[in-house]
Amino acid sequence: MSENGLINNQILSEIISEVVCKYMVEGESVLEQEYSIPVEVSRRHVHLTRAALDTLYGQNYQLTKVRDISQPGEFASEEKVIVISPKMKIIEGVRIVGPLRDYTQVELALTDAFLLGLSALPTRLSGDVTGSQPITLVGPKGSLTLTEGAIRAARHLHMTPQDAEKYKVKNGDRVKVETEGENGTIFKDVIVRVSDKSKLAFHIDTDEANAANIKGSVFSKILY
Ligand SMILES: [Zn+2]
């Protein structure tokens, strides 16, 4: 204080720079801790090869897009199939996700596996169906019995190389991801998938979403 009771200019500027420094340090750590990755929930669905769609829906059948979904180029189609397990348990209305792929695969949550009486649903990244559960698909024009193809999708993070740099991770890393909100949950073993065709998203199945109380627009963050 100066003699007249006012704050001396020099002291004032020291106080301001101290406060600003403190704020900036806190600001940085707050930024790092932000929930910035959208959480997206995958319902049970199938991916089909050209040959599989031919069998189920007829030669050269073209899927009808209902809406675009998360990752660029992928879409939910109007067409659905019936899934039948070796125990003759059925789930109807399982949506086909396009475009066609070079493998046929059924992605289920564990609750679906219980409904179907599948004993051991392996957790896999999409496309890795070797040794997975047998399953039958039925469409309006025919059926297809797969000796393997039913999986539980491994929870994963889609991101671009730029995102990977920002979040300091690389393709194939396994990280922990925390969801925001009431009943926020920490998911371990989240596999990072980096591609320049990706859009930033944390993908979980319906069981995982229910456990973490995911409804509507929810964000997540990587724990380091
Ligand atoms: Zn995904």
pLDDT digits 0-9 by tens, 146-177 = 999 999 999 999 999 999 999 999 999 999 99
Residue 190 Cα to ligand 1 midpoint, Å, equals: 11
Closest C-alpha to 153, from 185, 173, 128, 176: 128
Q: What is the whole-number distance in angstroms between the Cα of residue 42 and the centre of ligand 1?
A: 8
Half-sphere exposure (Cβ direction) of 30: Cα atoms closer than 13 Å: 6
Phi-psi label, residue 98: left if phi above 0, alpha if psi -120 to 50, beta otherwise:
beta
What separation in Å is there between the alpha carbon of 80 and the centre of ligand 1? 19
For domain 34-40+155-223, the CATH architecture is: Beta Barrel (2.40)
Cβ neighbours of residue 17 under 8 Å, at least 6 residues apart? none
- Residue 201 Cα to ligand 1 midpoint, Å, equals 8
- Each residue's pLDDT tens digit in the chain (224 positions)? 555 556 677 777 776 666 655 555 554 444 457 999 999 999 999 999 999 999 999 999 999 999 999 899 999 999 999 999 999 999 999 999 999 999 999 999 999 999 999 988 999 998 899 999 999 999 999 999 999 999 999 999 999 999 999 999 999 999 999 999 989 999 999 999 999 999 999 999 999 999 999 999 999 999 99
d(CA 212, CA 206): 10
End-to-end distance of the chain based on CA atoms, in angstroms? 45
Task: Please give the pLDDT value at position 10.
Answer: 75
Q: What is the pLDDT of residue 8?
A: 74
Question: What separation in Å is there between the alpha carbon of 158 and the centre of ligand 1?
Answer: 6
Query: Residue 200 Cα, ligand 1 centroid: separation in angstroms?
Result: 10
Q: What residue ranges do the domains of the chain occupy?
A: 34-40+155-223, 43-153
For residue 122, the CA-to-ligand 1 centroid distance in Å is 17
